[in-house]
Structure formats: C-alpha cells, structure tokens
Amino acid sequence: MTGVKLTELVEAAGCAAKLAPGYLSQVLADLPRVDDPRLLVGFDASDDAYVYDLGDGRGLVGTTDFFPPMVDDPFLFGQVAAANALSDVWAMGGRPALALNLLCFPNCLGIEIAGQILAGGADKCREAGVIVAGGHSINDHEPKFGLAVTGFVPLDRMLANAGAREGDALVLTKALGTGILTTAYKAQLLDEAGVKVATDSMITLNKYGAEALDGLDVHAATDVTGFSLMGHSCEMAEASGVTLQIRAAEVPVMARAREMAQMGLIPAGAYRNRDFFGPRVEMGGDVPLDLADVLFDPQTSGGLLVALPQVDAETYVGRLRELGQPAAIVGRAAEREAGGCSVSVTM
C-alpha cells in the first residue's frame, strides 16, 4: 500500500493508547504477588521497571513498552518508540544494555516500512549504547513497535517511585504536550513544523537527564509517560507517603499545546487520566482549564520527574539547561496529612 499515513491506520497514538489506568489497576489487583526477597522492585508501587538482585551489588532491570505510531515517518516512529522504552531503565537509576524488538505490522503495508521502523529503533539504541539482540514480530491490523529492555543498576544508586522526602524539590526534565500536539497533527490541524517541537522532545533520550544526576543526592524518580504528570505524580506521592505540591506556572509546556487544548484537541487518554487520578488531585481554582488539560495529557517518551534536595535540584536544572533541555523546578514534596490529597496544584 502506498500513500497511506501510519497515523491513519490507528485509533490511538503513542502512550495515549494505553489501557485506562482504572482498568489496569483492577487487573493488577487480582494478580498474585510472588514473595521473593531478590525481587526488589515489582509492580506494587507502579514503578517503571522491575529490579532483581543479582547478589553482587547490582540489580537486573527489565521493562517493556510498545505502542501505535503518533507520526507518519516510519523511521521517526521507530526512534520515538525506542527512546520511550529505554527510558524506564534510566528512571530506575540504571543503564540499559540489551533490547529485543517488538513489532506488530499489517500485511497491507510494504515490508520496507517495517525495515524503516526497525532502523529508527536501532538508531536510538545505538545512541544509547544498547545492543539489539533480536525480537519478535506478528501480523496486526495496526502497526505497533517497541522494545523489551534489560539493564543493570548498582543497588546503592537504584531509584524508585518511593523515596521522595518532605522538603524535596521536584524537577521535570522535559516540557509537556506531546499527546495534545500529536492529536492535533493527526486531526490535520497542526503541520509538520508545529508538531516538530513534540517529536524533537520525544526522540531525546532520557540518558542525558539520568547522567546529569551524577553526584547528586537523588531520593526518587520516575519518567512521565502515558499516565500524565498528574498520574505519575500521584504514584510517586502515594509510594512515598507525601503530598506533591505542583506549581502549574513553573511547568514547562510545549509551544502551541495550550492553544490546541483550548480548541478541544485533547487525546482520549487525558480524559481517562483525569477520571482515575483526578479525585486524588486538588486542582487550584486559578489553574486555567487548558493548562489543567496539559497536566493530565498522556506523554509519549516524556521526561523524568525527580525528587531531590533544593540545592541539588538547582544544580540539576543548570546542568540540563546547558544541554538545551527545558528543565524546571516544578514543585516540592510536603507532609501528607490524614485524608489529604496526593497532589496539590496551584499557579
């Protein structure tokens, strides 16, 4: 098939295609827990990857992620999907080492398109220093691509959702808005130049955000993906037993994301995020609706959300801005009051 855009073949794009968090939580609640002291991190606290103690001071880190395309260029789609999948290992404080391709591909597309998707993924793995060791493919009516990733982490530097402390500053390393901008692009209300701010961000590896933490006193970290800044903030707050206070005016937002939100170009995943996480978020009345929509926007290959002392946070932001990343201190961790919200948002 020629002349068909990848985004025309899918119902949802990128991390916005994830199952609704409410449905997912119900499924996970019914799964049996395996009590193994060497499994240091599982899925109980909604962390980004598992960590298994190798017994030599290192942890084995494993994760997987794949989704339908949010862009039409197959090479670019492969880059974004790979960057997104690799991110989970860096969010745990580790270094990805090996990857397996996961490809779902419709017979109606030329096989050269599949080759370009895989080449895009290989390009980002090469940049990350990761070996692509094989993979698996199946026929599917919608194209999808991602990776299963294995890495390693020194256990004394392992990061997780749990660990944010009262008084910690919160740093967000990338701007928000990928879900809204790619939705506008799919609706043909945003051109290539307009969506480029999103794709440039999505193909930027969180490797650089992770490396910039070297020597700093990091307490907790996660990457911000399909469950939005609000959803991943809730998960960190609840795992850490604190309330995260977010200053909406300080959150970096991609150009035209609020404009598109005002036009109603909101991905379905944002509504699902609001339905599930909204009751745990205290949204200030002075926060404009379009900005609140951005805060619930599902991110594809989003940045890191890191909790660390204020002085280290300032150093971290300085390092990232030298690298050209729009990092900012977006809030702080505070005492969790009985019956209090997980996340509080003010302007």
Token digits of residue 273:
């995020």
Counting Cβ atoms within 10 Å, is residue 204 exposed (0-12), middle (13-18) or buried (19+)? buried
Residue 108 is among the residues annotated as catalytic for this protein: no
Counting Cβ atoms within 10 Å, is residue 213 exposed (0-12), middle (13-18) or buried (19+)? buried
Catalytic annotation, pick one of 15, 104, 234, 341: 15
Tally helices (H) and strands (E) across the chain: 11, 13
Distance CA 230, CA 345 (A): 9
CB 204 within 8 A of CB 84: no
Q: How far is CA 211 from CA 86, 95, 255, in A?
A: 14, 10, 27
Contacts within 8 Å (CB) and 24+ apart, 52-60: 53/155, 54/152, 57/154, 57/155, 57/156, 58/152, 58/153, 58/154, 58/155, 59/94, 59/152, 59/153, 59/154, 59/155, 59/158, 60/150, 60/151, 60/152
CB 96 within 8 A of CB 149: yes
Counting Cβ atoms within 10 Å, is residue 24 exposed (0-12), middle (13-18) or buried (19+)? middle
Cβ burial 162-195 (10 Å sphere, 16+ → b, else e) = bbbeeebbbbbbbbbbbbbbbbbbbeeebeeebb
Contacts of 196 (CB under 8 A, 6+ apart): none
Catalytic residues: 15
